[in-house]
Amino acid sequence: DTEVTQTPKHLVMGMTNKKSLKCEQHMGHRAMYWYKQKAKKPPELMFVYSYEKLSINESVPSRFSPECPNSSLLNLHLHALQPEDSALYLCASSPGGGGRGVNGYTFGSGTRLTVV
């Protein structure tokens, strides 16, 4: 299995809602990432988990809360979002968290989030 699976593919939520994005990989990768991508822009890093521990938080607002329940799963909990948070949210994984083991990412297809 060489895929990163993200659910749901599309999500519309109100500013008072609580929702979660899910990501799953079965490649044995030990680093997992959340990225946010606006139209016609490159992906922007939000969070990095290395060996199931949060290693990087790119000063993301607390209305975004990541969780890594195990080495295959990554969640992003959403609460009280703003319309400007509407974007494509991408999950990615890579083989290792450091050293020569680091390679390119395998991205999921993303969740298209619309905040109304």
| 66 scored as a contact of other proteins (CB under 8 A) | no
Give the residue from 81, 48, 44 showing the smallest Cα distance to 66.
Answer: 48
Give the residue from 96, 101, 58, 64 showing the smallest Cα distance to 82.
Answer: 64
CB of 80 to other proteins, least distance (A): 26
| 83 scored as a contact of other proteins (CB under 8 A) | no
| 75 scored as a contact of other proteins (CB under 8 A) | no
| 96 scored as a contact of other proteins (CB under 8 A) | yes
In sequence order, the 6+-apart residues with CB closer than 8 A to the CB of 66 are 34, 46, 47, 49, 54, 57, 74, 75, 76, 77
Size of interface with other proteins, in residues (CB under 8 A): 31
Q: Where on the chain is the footprint of other proteins (CB under 8 A)? A: 4, 31, 33, 40-43, 45, 48, 50, 55-56, 90, 92, 94, 96-110, 112
